[in-house]
Amino acid sequence: MRFLLRFASLVALVVAVIAGTIDSIQSVAASAVVVTPMEDAWNDVSPSSLATVQSLISYYIHPRLYDLAVQWLLFQPTFAVFLVISLLLWMIAYKKPPVAGRFSV
């Protein structure tokens, strides 16, 4: 399980670096800071899944949750969202070193 969480963290980190690279290339080309919101990136990749997630959250959880939390998350920069996801997955998979040292059981 720890391996899968670390692998998912690595994938999220790679996506964050790619999104940050795309934003930096667009910023240099436009001579202004360009930051892609999560909603625009999601629409570019799979517009039907965004609508599906919206309807699932509204139906199964609560419509206000979508309005408050998910909409706020979708307006955040894509690279920042994936960096936070990567960090959270890595923190879940982290194994603390033993207190007594390297060779203790």
pLDDT in tens, 85-98: 999 999 999 887 77
> Residue 18: pLDDT band by 50, 70, 90 thresholds?
very high
Report residue 22 as tokens. 């795309």
Report residue 66 as tokens. 């979508």
Question: Which residue has 């994938």 as its token pair?
Answer: 11
Average pLDDT of the residues of the chain: 88
The kind and range of the H/E element at 13 are helix 2-30
> Residue 15: pLDDT band by 50, 70, 90 thresholds?
very high
> Residue 101: pLDDT band by 50, 70, 90 thresholds?
low
Cα–Cα distance measured from residue 22 to residue 24, given in angstroms and rounded to the nearest whole number: 5
Q: Is it the case that residue 39 has pLDDT exceeding 80? A: yes
